[in-house]
Structures are given as C-alpha cells and as structure tokens.
Structure 1
C-alpha cells in the first residue's frame, strides 16, 4: 500500500507505543513507520480498527517481518518517524486482501491484541530490562527474537548482540543436546573484561551484558525469577 493512500491525520516522531496509545481507540487507519539508517532503512505499517491491531509488517536491514514479530520490533525501534492516515472499511479490507501475510487475525495462535494491551506488554518487558540494568555491573540487556532485538535497555550495539545471541543459543543447544544435558536454561560466557548471560524468556531470548568483575549470583537469580514469571503468565 502506498503512503499516499488514505486521508492524512498527522505526522509524528513519537515512539510507536505512544502512537498506539493515542490512536489505539476510536481510530480506523494505518500508522506508517520509517527510520533512516545506514544502508536500507526500516519501513513498516500497523493497521488499526478501533483498538484492534489487524496487521503489521516491517522491512528492516533486508529482513521482512510480519504480524506480531513486526509489531514487537516496531515497538522497540528508536528514532522513528510516522505518518498516520485514516482509512475506510473498504480500504482496510483492501490492505488485508493485498497483504494477507501481514494479517494478525489470520494466525489462530496469534489473535489480534487491543493496542493498549500491546503497549502494556512492552511496558512490562521494559520494566524487566530496567530492573536488570540497575543491578551492579550490568551494562545492557535485551530481549531478542529471530536474530533481531525486540526490547532493549542500556548502551550497546543491540543489532549485533541479537545476531550473536542467536548463534550462541544455536551452538549451546547443540552442545547440551550432544552431552545429553537436557534443554538449556542459561548460557554464560565469560572473558577477563566481560560476562554475558543468555536465557530463554517467553518466546524470546534474554541477553544480559555485565562487566568482567561482576558477581553473577544476583543477576542469575533475577533472570530465573523473570523466566518463572513469564512462564506463569503473571
């Protein structure tokens, strides 16, 4: 769908989560999201119908994401610009018809969430990462999926971290399987200068970076509590 379609409502540089709060209710239309980067930029859209996210898609650094994967990634993007346009019911149906792979309601396991619920989910994950990065020695933390950072906090190259996390998880899982150790609960990497803990959380992986002299006991306990909380859906 072209950016010229629909009736322009506003342009914004606010975070996507804030836009979903502002336009999540009593609004039918589309939020077009874009961010300039080195090389291919990030462009995407979120289709809304009175509080329900109907579809989402994002192209970022040559990678195409659809449905909730795209939505979560856009919620994590910083420095974005957006264009909000109003659409009629027929125009919304046209978007869904022309982009069926983006329709969130089309996936039985991933029904459309009201926009406020999505914003609440982001706030919960942001709170988890904020708590972790407040621990002594922790410099950054991120939740990653499919080689991309979904939520992040701290100062680090999160795109690189996300890609490396996927490689480490793949290698660690293979080693654990070959040694018949069972599923991996936490993977710890240590060098003289840095320490890293990677752990599965919900349908993502949590990566925590810390200084080399950091005591990992409290960090590991917090990660374990996070895993338990997310598993129980609290």
Structure 2
C-alpha cells in the first residue's frame, strides 16, 4: 500500500510534538497502538493525508477528520518513516485512490513551526546531565549547541536508532 521508506525511529507522545521534533519532515507517521492504527502523510512539514481506524470499534476516519482526531489525542505510539521524492509521489497517489487526502493546504501544527529555535536547544541543554544538544538527520548535525564532535555523535546516534528499531 504505502511505500516502505526509511524508519527514523519510534516515538510516543502527541502528534503535535512532531512540529518541534522535525519541522520539515517528509514521509509517513505510522500510528500503531492499542487504540488503533493509521497514518499521516507529511511533505516538508505539511500534512496532506490521514487515515485512522480505532481498534474494536466501527470508527474509520479519513482526511481532515482523521487528522483532527489524531491531533486531539494526548499520546500516540508512532513511527517516523522518511520518504524520497519518488516515495512521496507514490504515497500521494495511494492517498488519492483511498480517499484520504486532506482539503485545504494541510496547515496544522506540523506546518506552522519554523526551524527549531536556539531557545529550545538551550532549554534542553540546561537539563541536568546534558552537555550538548544536536538535531541530526542522515548522519549530519543540522543544529547543535554545546561542546561535542557533533558529526561523529550524529552518525553513532543514527546507528543506535536503526539498531533499536530492528529490536522492536
């Protein structure tokens, strides 16, 4: 159905948190928990399709309705799946076929956040025991604060993330 993409890891929390974690994310947010399953497709931080089916209930939501429902949940178990431009095109075609495209421009919390602010990094760096903070993707440190070899740390952290996703 949807392209496989590359797993960036599993998260637990509100869907709105994706805006601060990865504001320009492109790919799928696969939701799979005890409450139900579904996905939100995002391109450049803008959600454009969503589906959600509640477990044990006759509740199936598509498009804007599914996205609003997922945004209202206080916590979800989800996996971030990065897509290439070809995979994004294939995912959009599948979304059109099953009728889960969102109307409008898809603006929402994931679309409204800019890049991660230095203030946010400073807030994390002030936590007890934290000596450095880095936002990374595909082995490259995108934003960093503190004293560390960020390129090396990013590569090791992504290796650990990939190994961890194979365990779960």
TM-score normalised per structure 1: 0.42
Instruction: Select which of 57, 82, 88 maps to 2:84.
Output: 88
Asked whether the equivalents of residues 30 and 38 of structure 2 are also in contact (C-alpha less than 8 Å), the reply is: yes
Alignment of 1:169-188 (within 5 A): none
Higher CA-based Rg: 1
Asked whether the equivalents of residues 26 and 82 of structure 2 are also in contact (C-alpha less than 8 Å), the reply is: yes
Unmatched 5+ residue regions in structure 2?
114-168
Structure 1 equivalent of residue 50 of structure 2: 56
Structure 2 equivalent of residue 103 of structure 1: 101
- Offset at residue 114 of structure 1 (A): 4.8
C-alpha distance in 2 between matches for 1:32 and 1:52:
15
Asked whether the equivalents of residues 41 and 47 of structure 2 are also in contact (C-alpha less than 8 Å), the reply is: yes
C-alpha distance in 1 between matches for 2:75 and 2:108:
24
TM-score normalised per structure 2: 0.57
- Offset at residue 117 of structure 1 (A): 5.5
C-alpha distance in 2 between matches for 1:35 and 1:26:
25
Unmatched 5+ residue regions in structure 1?
120-234
Q: 1:64 to 1:20 in 2, by over 3 A?
A: farther
Alignment of 1:216-227 (within 5 A): none
Matched, 1:17 2:8: no
Q: CA RMSD in A?
A: 2.2
- Offset at residue 27 of structure 1 (A): 1.8
